[in-house]
Amino acid sequence: MISVFRGRSVAGGVLLHIAGLWLLSSLDATGKLLVLGGVPVLMVSWFRYTVHVALMTVTVVPRRGRAIWRTTSLRGQLLRGALMIATTVLFFSVLGRLPLAEGTAMNFMAPVFLMALAPWLLHEPSRLHRWLGVLAGFVGMLIVVRPGAQLDPVGVGLGLLTALAFAFFQVATRRLAADDPLTTNYYGGVFGAVSLTLALPWFWRDLPLTGWQWLLLGSTGVTGFLGHWLQITAYSRAPATLLAPFSYLQIVAATTLGWLLFDQLPGRTTALGIGLICLAGLGVALTEGLRARRLENL
């Protein structure tokens, strides 16, 4: 499988993956700016989904036609869409209460939760290195949210709930692996846009927003669309086992944007906890990649 990917294609895939991560971190930072500016989380989420769907409808649907709706499980797509909305709304809520780096780090507990849930939900074998990763990630989380870290306890609770929801979202995504990634992406966007539009009368508020804030609202859909498109393209050019370790560079993006936009940097102890969470996931990803490569060479 890995032998299919070669040279420039693999290098390009890695660069696209990193670029996508930075765009998605920019989306998170924009959401934080808007929520701190008084824009309701659901309004931010609505703009994020509607602009995303509009862009996909203009750029993708004309080329795919009706095939964009072809799925092996409509129920699975709807469940994934619901989990996608829950994750988005929860994470924007977290960013309204926690610094960008800490909030992003807590979201990286999702792969750790997924490792713990995989034997039951995905019927994957239980392996020692996965449980060691779960343990290390949990210790890292305890360091980040330790007493004295001065983090909002509600934000911490929402962060853990977001990571758990994101883990279930990843499970739902894996179960739709047979579907075209663009189809899955489109279903998720449409489900989010339609659901939030139906709820619009209950959360919409007429706010005295500046032109800059309106621009930021519109940009959430653009960065979300481009970020996910770059991710999809990256995975078409390079194997997932190679790209997985680079996903943790999103912590670097979040920390940099948190410093530039909000003058927030993690303390040394918090940075240690964040690093431990990243190392837990990175260690498992590298071990899984090496194991897959050995199996292919048999």
The pLDDT of residue 215: 94
pLDDT tops 60 at residue 191: yes
Q: How confident is the model at residue 3 (pLDDT cuts 50, 70, 90)?
A: very low
Q: How confident is the model at residue 240 (pLDDT cuts 50, 70, 90)?
A: low
Q: Write down the mean pLDDT value for the chain.
A: 84
Query: Tens digit of pLDDT for each residue in 105-114?
Result: 888 787 777 7
Q: CB under 8 Å to 17, separation ≥6 — which residues?
A: 230, 231, 234, 235, 238, 243, 246, 247
Burial 180-219 (b: 16+ CB within 10 A, else e): ebbbbbbbbbbbbbebbeeeeeeeeeeeebeeebeebbeb
Specify the higher pLDDT residue, 122 or 88: 88
With beta carbons less than 8 A apart as the criterion, state whether 76 and 175 touch.
Answer: yes
Q: Of the candidates 39, 296, 50, which has an alpha carbon nearest to the alpha carbon of residue 191?
A: 50
Q: What phi and psi values does residue 269 have, to the nearest 5 degrees?
A: -65, -40
pLDDT tops 90 at residue 48: yes
pTM of the model: 0.82
3-state SS assignment for residue 178: coil
Q: How confident is the model at residue 279 (pLDDT cuts 50, 70, 90)?
A: confident
Q: What share of the chain is helix, strand, coil (3-state, %, to 5)?
A: 80, 0, 20
Q: How confident is the model at residue 51 (pLDDT cuts 50, 70, 90)?
A: very high
The pLDDT of residue 143: 86
The pLDDT of residue 218: 92
The pLDDT of residue 170: 79
- What's at 43, amino acid-wise? M
pLDDT tops 70 at residue 122: no
Structural domains in the chain (count): 1
The pLDDT of residue 182: 87
Specify the higher pLDDT residue, 292 or 210: 210
Q: How confident is the model at residue 8 (pLDDT cuts 50, 70, 90)?
A: low
List the Cα angle 228/164/26 in 5-degree steps.
35
Domain assignment of residue 83, given as a range:
2-297
